[in-house]
C-alpha cells in the first residue's frame, strides 16, 4: 500500500487551512492510500483528530507533548543514512529537524503533502523532504504582500519550490506573489479551490430591514482579518446614526483587544457572537458579509456567503476580487479606513439591491466554483503518484 504523509504547519488545533486535506483523507483512503498526519503538535482530543484516529489515520507530532525545539547538536539520533546526511546539511541552519525526520521514518510515505498556512511557512520541511529524496507537493493557503521570506532562507526555500512535484495555491494572486517573492516562474504551480461547507442552496434573505445585519466571519486576528477597521469606521457619526449591526463571528487572539477598542470608542453597533458551527443557518439572520482583510488566500467565508446568496463587502487583499465584480455581487475597497469606508458607503446607498446581488453571487459561485474541490485535489494527487510509479 502506498502511504501519504500530510504535513500541516497550522499552529491552531484545527484551522481553515486544514479543511482541504481533512476532507481529502477519506477519498484518499478509498483510493487505497494509507494516511499519516504530521503536525508540530496535535491535540488528539480535538473532534477532527478523534475522527481521523477512528479512520486509522496515523497521527504523528514533530515536537511531542509541546516540547520546545532545540538547536541541532552533534549527537542527534541517526535514523537512516539518508536522514544522517540531511541532518548534517541542516546543521548550519541552527534548527532541529530530527523530530520531523523521525515522523517521516515512522510514516514511510511515498508522497508528502506539505499544507501551509502561508506560502513559505512549510518550505523548510519541504526542503528536508528534498534532501531525503522523498517526493512531495506543496499547498499554500495564503500569501501576504507585506510578509516576505527572510534573505537567509530564500535560497533553500526556492529549491524546495522548484523540486516539488507540484505547488498548489488557492488564488492566482497567491501564485503570482510567490513567484515575485522568489524572483522566478513556477511551471509546477497551479491554482486550486478549497471546499465550501454549505449545501449550495440560497438561504432566504431576511425579511426584516429595521436593522441591517452584517456578518464579519473569520478568526479574530487583526494582522490578517482587519476587524479593527470596521470599528473605526463605525465610530463615525453617520454610521452611529444608521440602523446597522456588525456581528463578529469567530474566535481568536485579538478578541479582547477588539472588545476593548469598541468600548473605548463607545461603538455600540458591533457584537461578538463567538464560534458558529452551522454557518448556513446563521445566514438566515444576516443581510451581507463584511470582510476588511489585510491579507488573504481566497477566504472560505466569502465563498460561503456568496453561495448562501449574500452580497459581500470586501477588501482587495489576496484573491478576494477573483470571484467578485464591483457593484454586481460585491463592493470592494482597500484595507484602510478611507477606502473601505467608501466601499461600505456604496453598499449602504445600494441596500435595496442587496438581495438581488446575493442571488447573482450565488449563481456565479455555482457556475465557477467546483462542487467538490477535495475530489479534484485527490485526482491531482493520484496523478502525481501515478507519475512517480512510472
Give the residue extent of every domain in the chain. 3-195+372-389, 212-368
> Are both 3-195+372-389 and 212-368 of the same fold?
yes
Most distant CA pair in the chain: distance in Å?
70
What is the predicted pLDDT for the residue at 15? Answer: 84
Higher pLDDT: 131 or 74? It is 131
Are the beta carbons of 160 and 309 closer than 8 angstroms? no
CA–CA separation, 13 vs 213, rounded Å? Answer: 30
- The whole model's pTM is what? 0.85
Give the angle 18-22-25 at the CA atoms, nearest 5°.
150
* pLDDT value at residue 86: 39
Q: Is the pLDDT of residue 265 over 70?
A: yes
β-strand partners of 136: 112
At the topology level, CATH places domain 212-368 in Rossmann fold (3.40.50)
- pLDDT for position 65: 65
Q: Which of 278, 291, 304, 308 is nearest to 205 (CA)?
A: 308
pLDDT-derived band at 16 (thresholds 50, 70, 90) equals confident
Q: Whole-angstrom Cα distance, residue 260 to residue 197?
A: 32
String of b and e for 275-297 (b: at least 16 CB within 10 Å)? eeeebeebbeebbbbbbbbbbbb
Percentage of the chain lying above the pLDDT 90 cut: 85
Give the mean pLDDT of 194-204.
Answer: 85
Q: How far apart are CA 276 and CA 262, in angstroms?
A: 21
Strand partners, 7: 38, 114
Average per-residue pLDDT for the chain: 91
Q: How confident is the model at residue 75 (pLDDT cuts 50, 70, 90)?
A: very low
Q: Is the pLDDT of residue 227 over 70?
A: yes
Would you call 214 helix, strand, or coil by DSSP? strand
**pLDDT of 91 higher than 80:** no
Please give the average per-residue pLDDT across 46-51, as a whole number.
Answer: 95
Least trusted range by pLDDT, from 184-188, 211-215, 295-299: 295-299
Q: Percent of the chain scored above 70 by pLDDT?
A: 92
261 pLDDT band, cuts 50/70/90, is very high
Please state which architecture CATH assigns to domain 3-195+372-389. Answer: 3-Layer(aba) Sandwich (3.40)
- Region for residue 274 given its phi and psi (left: phi exceeds 0; alpha: psi -120 to 50; beta: otherwise): left
Question: Per-residue confidence at 67, pLDDT binned at 50, 70, 90?
Answer: very low
- Tell me the CA distances in angstroms from 243 to 48, 173, 205, 209, one per residue in order: 39, 36, 17, 9
Euclidean distance between CA atoms 116 and 295, whole angstroms: 15
Q: In the structure, what pLDDT confidence band is assigned to residue 200 with cuts at 50, 70 and 90?
A: confident
Segment among 19-23, 192-196, 269-273, 326-330 with least mean pLDDT = 192-196
Q: Are strands 167-169 and 244-249 parallel, antiparallel or unpaired?
A: unpaired
Give the CA count within 13 Å in the CB-facing half-sphere of 157: 18
Amino acid at each position: 500500500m502506498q502511504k501519504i504523509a500530510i504535513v500541516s504547519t497550522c499552529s491552531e488545533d484545527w484551522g481553515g487551512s486544514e479543511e482541504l486535506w481533512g476532507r481529502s483523507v477519506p477519498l484518499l483512503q478509498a483510493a487505497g492510500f494509507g494516511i499519516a498526519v504530521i503536525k508540530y503538535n496535535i491535540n488528539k482530543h480535538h473532534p477532527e483528530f478523534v475522527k481521523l484516529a477512528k479512520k486509522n489515520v496515523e497521527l504523528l507530532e514533530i515536537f511531542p507533548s509541546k516540547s520546545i525545539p532545540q538547536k541541532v547538536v552533534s549527537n542527534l539520533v541517526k535514523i537512516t543514512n539518508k536522514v544522517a546526511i540531511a541532518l548534517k546539511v541542516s546543521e548550519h541552519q541552527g534548527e532541529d529537524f530530527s523530530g520531523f525526520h523521525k515522523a517521516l521514518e515512522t510514516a514511510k510515505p511515498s508522497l508528502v503533502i506539505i499544507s501551509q498556512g502561508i506560502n513559505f511557512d512549510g518550505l523548510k520541511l519541504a526542503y528536508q523532504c528534498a534532501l531525503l529524496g522523498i517526493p512531495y507537493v506543496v499547498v499554500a493557503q495564503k500569501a501576504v504582500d507585506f510578509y516576505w521570506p527572510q534573505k537567509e532562507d530564500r535560497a533553500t526555500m526556492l529549491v524546495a519550490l522548484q523540486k516539488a512535484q507540484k505547488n498548489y495555491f488557492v488564488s492566482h494572486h497567491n501564485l503570482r506573489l510567490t513567484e515575485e517573492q522568489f524572483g522566478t516562474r513556477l511551471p509546477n504551480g497551479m491554482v486550486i479551490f478549497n471546499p465550501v461547507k454549505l449545501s449550495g442552496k440560497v438561504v432566504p434573505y431576511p425579511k426584516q430591514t429595521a436593522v441591517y445585519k452584517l456578518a464579519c466571519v473569520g478568526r479574530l486576528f487583526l494582522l490578517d482579518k482587519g476587524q479593527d477597521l470596521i470599528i473605526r469606521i463605525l465610530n463615525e457619526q453617520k454610521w452611529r446614526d444608521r440602523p446597522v449591526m456588525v456581528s463578529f463571528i469567530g474566535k481568536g487572539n485579538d478578541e479582547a483587544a477588539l472588545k476593548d477598542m469598541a468600548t473605548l470608542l463607545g461603538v455600540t453597533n458591533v457584537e461578538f457572537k463567538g464560534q458558529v458551527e452551522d454557518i448556513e443557518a446563521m445566514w438566515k439572520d444576516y443581510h451581507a458579509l463584511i470582510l476588511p482583510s489585510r491579507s488573504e488566500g481566497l477566504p472560505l467565508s466569502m465563498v460561503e456567503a456568496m453561495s448562501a446568496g449574500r452580497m459581500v463587502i470586501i477588501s482587495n487583499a489576496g484573491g478576494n476580487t477573483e470571484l467578485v465584480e464591483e457593484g454586481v455581487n460585491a463592493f470592494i475597497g482597500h484595507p484602510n479606513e478611507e477606502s473601505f469606508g467608501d466601499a461600505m458607503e456604496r453598499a449602504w446607498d445600494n441596500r435595496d439591491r442587496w438581495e438581488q446581488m446575493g442571488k447573482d453571487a450565488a449563481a456565479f459561485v455555482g457556475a465557477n466554483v467546483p462542487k467538490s474541490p477535495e475530489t479534484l485535489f485527490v485526482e491531482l494527487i493520484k496523478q502525481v503518484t501515478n507519475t512517480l510509479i512510472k
